[in-house]
DNA sequence: ATGTCGATTTGCT
DNA sequence: GCAAATCGACATA
């Protein structure tokens, strides 16, 4: 038995707290991984956005709107919510909060770490492997089939690898101009990365 | 049944 | 910088 793990999968309790805004910030610096198609792929989360169900016009579950698509957001925190956007891109979110609290955090960008070769193949590129919410899904092999997947049991999960976050920047969310005043909320969080020299 | 539009990416002007 | 690509979810009739 190892005395200490270097990497710890985030526990259910991390996800079931009620503030998606807090969780969105705390997910920065954690590592998102997938084991789909036989290869582990993923990287450190560097950009997220919070969506808070009932009172957030930008959220698909605004006013607790329940549809087959949004149903998973009403489930327990720690599950995946994946949907198709613009007819061609899958976007990956982590459901947060307890049952009946339709909050979620959109994973917008990663720093590629694991399975870079496989991610390059899936993206058919060498660069910008996981630089946006659509590309993250493509690189990790995530599709709508994974909506509802449990991050504590399924092929997608998040680990704490001990990275210490120094500076978080907050800004308005992207692509939600239709949300009126809620479009101004500073619920997009990015990790300010120092220059990393080897 | 039909029309509108999106939590985006990419390539071309 | 702009617009096409592309389709399912949702609203309206």
In the 152-191 segment of chain A, residues within 7 Å (Cβ) of strand B are 173-176, 178
Q: Hey, what are A67's tokens?
A: 């549809």
Using the CA of A89, which nucleotide's C1' is the nearest one?
A: B8
Residues A173 and A187: their CA atoms lie apart, in Å, by: 6
Contacts of residue A13, Cβ cutoff 8 Å, sequence gap at least 6: none
Strand C bases contacted by the protein (CB, 7 Å): 5-11
Q: Tell me: the pLDDT tens digits for A82-131?
A: 999 999 999 999 999 999 999 999 999 999 999 999 999 999 999 999 99
Q: Tell me: the pLDDT tens digits for A121-179?
A: 999 999 999 999 999 999 999 999 999 999 999 999 999 999 999 999 999 999 999 99
pTM exceeding the 0.85 threshold for the entire prediction: yes
The DSSP-derived string for A135-191 is: HHHHHHT--GGGTT-BTTTSSEEEEE--PPP--EEEEPPSS-GGGGGGGGS--EEEE
Contact between residue A175 and residue A49 where contact means Cβ atoms under 8 Å apart: no
Residue A116 burial class via C-beta count within 10 angstroms: exposed 0-12, middle 13-18, buried 19 and up: middle
Contact between residue A192 and residue A29 where contact means Cβ atoms under 8 Å apart: no
The DSSP-derived string for A14-58 is: HHHSS-HHHHHHHTTT-EEEEEETTEEEEEEEEEEEEEEGGG-TT
In the 6-45 segment of chain A, residues within 7 Å (Cβ) of strand B are none
Using the CA of A125, which nucleotide's C1' is the nearest one?
A: B10
Q: Compute how many other C-beta atoms are within 10 angstroms of the C-beta atom of residue A11.
A: 11
Question: Comparing C-alpha atoms, which of A49, A45, A46 is closest to residue A24?
Answer: A49
Half-sphere exposure of A180 (CA within 13 A, CB side): 6
Q: Tell me A79's DSSP state.
A: B
The pLDDT assigned to A193 comes to 75
Distances in Å between the Cα of A153 and the Cα atoms of A18, A57, A68, A188 are 22, 31, 22, 28
Q: Tell me: the pLDDT tens digits for A25-68?
A: 999 999 999 999 999 999 999 999 999 989 999 999 999 999 99
């Amino acid at each position: 038995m190892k005395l200490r793990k270097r990497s710890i999968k985030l526990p259910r309790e991390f996800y079931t707290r009620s503030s998606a805004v807090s969780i969105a910030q705390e997910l920065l610096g954690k590592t998102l991984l997938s084991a789909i198609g036989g290869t582990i792929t993923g990287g450190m989360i560097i950009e997220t956005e919070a969506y808070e169900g009932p009172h957030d016009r930008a959220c698909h579950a605004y006013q607790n709107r329940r549809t087959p698509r949004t149903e998973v957001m009403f489930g327990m925190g720690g599950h995946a919510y994946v949907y198709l956007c613009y007819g061609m891109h899958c976007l990956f979110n982590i459901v947060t909060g307890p049952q009946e609290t339709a909050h979620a955090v959109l994973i917008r960008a990663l720093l590629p770490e694991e399975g870079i070769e496989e991610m390059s193949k899936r993206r058919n590129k060498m660069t910008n492997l996981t630089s946006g919410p659509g590309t993250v899904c493509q690189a990790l092999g995530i599709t709508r089939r994974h909506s509802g997947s449990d991050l504590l049991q399924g092929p997608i999960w998040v680990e704490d690898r001990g990275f210490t976050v120094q500076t978080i920047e907050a800004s308005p969310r992207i692509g939600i101009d239709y949300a009126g005043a809620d479009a101004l909320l500073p619920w997009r969080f990015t990790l300010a990365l120092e220059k990393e020299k080897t």
